[in-house]
Amino acid sequence: MSTRISPTLNMKDDGGKKTVCCSGCGTALCSADQHWKDNVPMKQTKVAGLTGWSDSVHPDLVLREFSCPSCGQLLDSETSLPQDPYLYDIVHV
């Protein structure tokens, strides 16, 4: 059984073993008791150089893009300073 937990992620329950999966291709990213962002590729880009962003943003601000390791679908993005920890969403299913 699979339950959607975000527009890009599903929680698969296989007989009590829960895994977080990409909703695009179904690839298992991690077990439900782990943070999925720690288990997928992350691309980090300075925001100041991106089209459409104001020149007044902090020069160190970055855009983090988290993608499925199998199909490449963008799973989530966030802006932060490089030294900041990832923003973890907590899902109760």
Contact 22, 29 (CB under 8 A): yes
Per the model's pLDDT, the better-predicted residue between 2 and 39 turns out to be 39
Contact 39, 48 (CB under 8 A): no
The position carrying tokens 């007989």 is 15
Percent of the chain with pLDDT over 90: 75
Per the model's pLDDT, the better-predicted residue between 2 and 70 turns out to be 70
pLDDT, residue 52, reads 78
93: pLDDT strictly greater than 60: no
11: pLDDT strictly greater than 90: yes
Structure confidence at residue 89 as a pLDDT band (50, 70, 90): confident
Mean pLDDT of the chain: 92
Contact 65, 45 (CB under 8 A): yes
pLDDT, residue 91, reads 63
pLDDT, residue 83, reads 96
Contacts 24+ apart (CB under 8 A), 59-66: 66/37, 66/40, 66/41, 66/42
